[in-house]
């Protein structure tokens, strides 16, 4: 310490500072989280503000979806606060929401960028929870991100309302008590598509799969192969393609050399746009194999993707969660208020995010509390209607929504740049319902809800 003699006064200063800090802190010890009983994290009654966290991809491959999700969230917040035309609030079967915020609190929000990376998404969600005091996190356009953020929300003790996530795992092996998914999943796509494909293409087909090399791709491939094999199709080959790939010609060439007569593209977003374009360029759709026309199938469709792929999507089958051309009251009300505000119809990503926000607000209102455990209870086995998908059930066993699934086809003669898909069939909910412990969903446990304090 000898070399340190000259700075004694500084040490004294520090000591005094530290001591006075402790003294000042003493009266506030009772406000510390560790001491409060029966409370929950980020209680709006304590902080005086109600913040929802909208965590969407603003950069990266799903930035288009993210931007649309954000538009839907802004619209939902407007409607919850009683601005605008109220959108689906008027058609929602539950009438708990009055357009006066949630439990009388004006809804505020913060936004963040997931970058479609688990790490970045968690960092962004964490800062929303810790810094901005968000009581609920929602959004995302990738299953990996949804699973990661859902786990974080479970640990932290806030509700997670998943955005666009289609992988079985979100409500399967990675399900969490604090997480809820309105969007449909790979299994439902397979179950809905199979009968339609059977009618259109027959039961004697050989399928070749190109699969995006990540979690969602795997579960979709599994769901589609098992559903199509059950009706007699044969799976010739399944090939994984890197998520970052933009040129799929190297993967299309082997398809030409195989005796497959159907190509299933388990791709989403930009991947699907590129792989489908490549497949069409290689003349796959003009091919005749085994005496049958060669066909292409895209299990998960969205309007944004159809727009990207242009004329290539004509006549191609796929499934979707929702489409703006639906004629029920809820969809019409939503399309109208979205269109009035932004000038174009919403995508399915926008729809699911809007609905999730409303469902959360409604559950809080019905529970009479923001406590995550009360919200979980209010949402579990909740049946509702009027949000664009007909009668829907939020199943308590895995927190997955069960509703009709749309099978769509690329339109031959689109009347506008938004009118790209036509609804071929509305598969009734019974046909896509499965057991919570179905093999494709097994291995997960909800655990108990975590209020975070």
Partner 1 sequence: MLGLNKKDTTLLIIVVIMTMFAPFILNPFPETSQLAQFNAGYPDLMQRFVIFGIFAIGFNILFGLTGYLSFGHAAFLGVGSYAGVWMMKLLTMNVIPAILMSMIVAGLFSILVGYISLRRSGIYFSILTLAFAQMSFSLAYSVLTPITNGETGLQLALDDPRILGVSQVAGSIPPASLFGLAMRDSYEMTLGGWAFTFNVGYYLCAVVMIVAFYIAIRIFRSPFGLMLKAVKSNQQRLNYTGVNSKPYTFAAFVISGMYAGLAGGLMVAMDPLAGAERMQWTASGEVVLMTILGGAGTLFGPVLGAGFIKYFENIFSKINDTILHQWFAALPDGIEDTLVFLIHPFIGKGWHLTLGIVFMLVVIFLPGGIMEGIRRIVDLFKRRSPKDEVSGGAVPSAKAAE
Phi, psi of 26 (to 5 degrees): -55, -50
Cα within 13 Å of Cα(345), Cβ side: 21
List the structure tokens of 319: 């499934």
Indicate the residue among 388 and 444 with the shorter CB distance to partner 1.
444
Q: Hey, is 140 helix, strand or coil?
A: coil
Indicate the residue among 3 and 343 with the shorter CB distance to partner 1.
3
288: left (phi over 0), alpha (psi -120 to 50) or beta: beta
Taking CB under 8 A as the criterion, which residues in 130-169 touch partner 1?
A: 130-131, 142-144, 147-148, 151-152, 154-156, 169
CB of 402 to partner 1, least distance (A): 24
What DSSP assignment string belongs to 388-444?
SSSSEEE-TTT-BEE--EEEEEE-SS-SSSS--EEEEEEE-HHHH---TT-TTTTT-
Which residue of 81, 85, 86, 127 would you call a contact of partner 1, by CB under 8 A? 127
CB of 364 to partner 1, least distance (A): 22
CB 184 within 8 A of CB 160: no
CB of 387 to partner 1, least distance (A): 26
Which residue of 44, 84, 101, 112 would you call a contact of partner 1, by CB under 8 A? 112
Which residue of 242, 254, 283, 368 would you call a contact of partner 1, by CB under 8 A? 242
Question: Is residue 214 part of the contact set for partner 1 (CB under 8 A)?
Answer: yes
Specify which residues 51 forms β-bridges with: 108
Question: Is residue 293 part of the contact set for partner 1 (CB under 8 A)?
Answer: no
Question: Is residue 213 part of the contact set for partner 1 (CB under 8 A)?
Answer: yes
Taking CB under 8 A as the criterion, which residues in 423-452 touch partner 1?
A: 443-445, 447-448, 450
Quick one: angle between helices 215-230 and 143-156, nearest 10? 120
Taking CB under 8 A as the criterion, which residues in 23-62 touch partner 1?
A: 24-25, 28-29, 31-34, 58-59
Count, residues near partner 1 per rule CB under 8 A:
54
**Nearest C-alpha neighbor of 130 from the set 59, 47, 212:** 47
**Nearest C-alpha neighbor of 49 from the set 102, 97, 106:** 106
Question: Is residue 341 part of the contact set for partner 1 (CB under 8 A)?
Answer: no
SS (H, E, C) 141-177: CCHHHHHHHHHHHHHHCCEEEECCCCCHHHHCCCCCC
Which residue of 111, 226, 369, 433 would you call a contact of partner 1, by CB under 8 A? 111
Binding residues for partner 1, rule: CB under 8 A, are 1, 3-4, 14, 24-25, 28-29, 31-34, 58-59, 110-113, 117-120, 122-124, 126-127, 130-131, 142-144, 147-148, 151-152, 154-156, 169, 174, 177, 213-215, 240, 242-243, 443-445, 447-448, 450
């Amino acid at each position: 310490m000898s070399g340190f003699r000259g700075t004694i006064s500084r040490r004294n200063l520090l000591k005094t500072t530290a001591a006075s800090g402790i003294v000042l802190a003493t009266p506030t010890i009772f406000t510390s989280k560790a001491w409060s009983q029966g409370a929950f994290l980020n209680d709006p009654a304590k902080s005086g503000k109600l913040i929802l966290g909208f965590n969407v991809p603003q950069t990266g491959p799903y930035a288009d979806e993210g931007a649309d999700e954000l538009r839907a969230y802004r619209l939902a917040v407007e409607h919850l606060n009683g601005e605008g035309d109220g959108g689906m609030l008027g058609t929602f079967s539950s009438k708990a929401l009055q357009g006066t915020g949630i439990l009388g609190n004006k809804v505020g929000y913060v936004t963040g960028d997931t970058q479609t990376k688990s790490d970045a998404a968690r960092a962004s969600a964490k800062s929303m929870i810790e810094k901005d005091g968000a009581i609920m996190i929602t959004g995302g356009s990738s299953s990996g991100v949804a699973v990661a953020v859902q786990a974080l929300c479970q640990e932290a003790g806030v509700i997670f309302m998943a955005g666009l996530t289609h992988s079985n795992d979100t409500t399967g092996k990675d399900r969490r008590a604090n997480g809820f998914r309105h969007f449909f999943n790979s299994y439902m796509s397979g179950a809905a598509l199979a009968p339609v494909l059977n009618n259109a293409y027959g039961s004697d087909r050989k399928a070749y799969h190109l699969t995006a090399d990540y979690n969602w791709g795997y579960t979709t491939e599994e769901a589609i192969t098992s559903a199509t094999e059950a009706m007699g199709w044969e799976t010739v080959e399944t090939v994984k393609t890197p998520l970052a790939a933009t040129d799929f010609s190297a993967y299309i060439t082997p398809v030409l050399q195989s005796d497959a007569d159907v190509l299933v593209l388990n791709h989403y977003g930009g991947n699907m746009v590129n792989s489908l374009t490549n497949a069409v360029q290689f003349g796959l759709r003009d091919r005749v194999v085994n005496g049958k026309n060669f066909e292409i199938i895209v299990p998960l469709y969205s309007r944004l993707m159809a727009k990207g792929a242009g004329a290539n999507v004509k006549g191609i089958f796929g499934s979707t969660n929702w489409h703006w051309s639906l004629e029920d009251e809820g969809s019409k009300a939503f399309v109208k208020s979205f269109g009035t505000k932004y000038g174009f119809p919403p995508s399915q990503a926008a729809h699911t995010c809007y609905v999730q926000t409303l469902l959360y607000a409604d559950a809080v209102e019905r529970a009479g509390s923001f406590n995550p455990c009360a919200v979980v209870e209010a949402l579990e086995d909740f049946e509702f209607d009027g949000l664009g998908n007909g009668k829907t059930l939020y199943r308590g066993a895995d927190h997955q929504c069960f509703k009709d699934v749309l099978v769509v086809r690329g339109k031959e003669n689109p009347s506008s740049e938004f009118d790209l898909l036509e609804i071929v069939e509305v598969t009734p909910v019974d046909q896509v319902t499965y057991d919570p412990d179905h093999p494709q969903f097994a291995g997960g446990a909800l655990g108990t809800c975590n209020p975070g304090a």
